[in-house]
A = this chain, B = another copy of it.
Amino acid sequence: EVPKLAAAAEYFFKFGVEGKRFRPTVLLLMATALNVHLPIPNSVPVSTELRARQQRIAEITEMIHVASLLHDDVLDDADTRRGIKSLNLVMGNKVAVLAGDFLLSRACVALASLRNTEVVSLLATVVEHLVTGETMQMTTTSEQRCSMEYYMQKTYYKTASLISNSCKAVALLAGQTTEVATLAFEYGRNLGLAFQLIDDVLDFTGTSA
């Protein structure tokens, strides 16, 4: 309907600047690992429909991730992202803020279409965590800067919450037990935390993760 908005929202999904697609890849692997038909009550049979629904989670997760990148780049006045000019530099802050909002609203519409309110809750909470983490990072006092606990909490909100909660969503869609869903969540949490720890260490010792 509005070409400028569509172009802005698609900016980081184009070939060559789509990034590593780390989160969607992990989520589809998690789906493969979990879609084994187990003789548990109420388990959803493995089907192409289940796989398609889990793929939606992977897409939604990437949309939320890119939306947060767009807003973060406005906040940080960043010039580059994924080796090209940032969207705020190319199209201005206004379009970048709106494109982020647009991706979030599309993610929310896609989530609702999965017709699973627990999954909607999980991913909506992630957006809240991303904002909380970004604010914690922006407002860190010098005392907080020396607290490992504060750093880990901020890192969970900023990085690990998205992958851990979407791993859990993939498990819930597969009809797995609460126990398995919690294990999927823990896997995502540890992976997300480890990823960010390495990325932060590389700020001192290398280039980028």
Residues of B within 8 A of A104 (CB): 101, 104, 127
Q: List CB contacts (< 8 Å) of A1-36 with chain B.
A: 1-2, 4-5
Contact of A2 among B105, B114, B136 (CB under 8 A): B136
The answer to whether A208 has its CB under 8 Å from any CB of chain B is no
Contact between B98 and A134 (Cβ–Cβ < 8 Å)?
yes
Per DSSP, chain A at the interface is helix
CA distance A184 to B74 in the complex (A): 39
Which of A38-46, A117-125, A185-193 is found at the contact surface with chain B?
A: A117-125
Closest chain-B Cβ to A69's Cβ sits at a distance in Å of 13
The answer to whether A112 has its CB under 8 Å from any CB of chain B is yes
CA distance A65 to B101 in the complex (A): 13
**Which range holds the interface residue count of chain A?**
35 or more
30 interchain pairs (CB within 8 A)? A2-B135, A2-B136, A2-B139, A4-B135, A5-B131, A71-B97, A71-B101, A74-B93, A74-B97, A75-B97, A75-B98, A93-B93, A95-B135, A98-B134, A98-B135, A98-B138, A100-B101, A102-B128, A102-B131, A105-B124, A105-B127, A105-B128, A108-B120, A108-B127, A109-B125, A111-B124, A112-B117, A114-B117, A115-B117, A116-B117
